[in-house]
Structure 1
Amino acid sequence: MSLFTPEQIKEMGEMWASDLFTPEERIAAISDLSLEERLAGANPAEVISYLKPKLKLSEILAGLSVSEIEELEKQLKQLKRQG
């Protein structure tokens, strides 16, 4: 039986890691891991928030060509009819 909760063990590991390794050493260690290994144990809500675009809709649309915007309009009209 453990004397510590999983959360306490995680906090201790983070504390020790920050004392034992420089930021450069941590980056080097993490860069060798696969994506699955890096995301293991991560909170899904936090991961999704990193994947969401940081641009406003107007900024996203400003980068599109006229034909791309017309295609989007066509798709939106189709979705509106279906829904």
Structure 2
Amino acid sequence: MSLFTPEQIKEMGEMWASDLFTPEERIAAISDMPLEERLADTNPIEVMNYFKPEQRLAGLSLKEIEAYIEQRKQQTQSV
């Protein structure tokens, strides 16, 4: 059984990292991490807000985009 909560362990890690590494070293370590690992603890909605609409759509197929447009049209007509 751990004596610390996950939040406390995270805070300790951040504190130790700030004492052990320069900002440049932290950036270098993070830049080598895969994107999925860097974004693991973030809220997906917050991350998506940083992307332009065309970047958000880039991963979708044309059929998915057309289906979404049709769905939105139906929603606006029913209101």
- Relative to the length of structure 1, the TM-score reads 0.57
**Aligned match of 1:26:** 26
**Aligned match of 2:36:** 36
Aligned-pair CA distance for 1:53: 5.2
Cα distance change, pair 27–53 in 1 and its aligned pair in 2 (3 A): closer
Residue identity matched to 2:49:
K
Residue identity matched to 1:43:
T
Aligned-pair CA distance for 1:19: 0.7
**Aligned match of 1:52:** 49
Cα distance change, pair 43–50 in 1 and its aligned pair in 2 (3 A): closer
Aligned-pair CA distance for 1:82: 6.2
**Aligned match of 2:77:** 81
**In structure 1, what is the Cα distance between the partners aligned to 2:38 and 2:50?**
21
Alignment length (residue pairs): 60
**Aligned match of 2:9:** 9
Residue identity matched to 2:46:
S
Structure 1 runs (4+) greater than 4 angstroms displaced: none
Gaps (5+ residues) in structure 2?
52-68
RMSD: 2.8
What percent identity do the matched residue pairs reach? 67
Residue identity matched to 2:24:
E
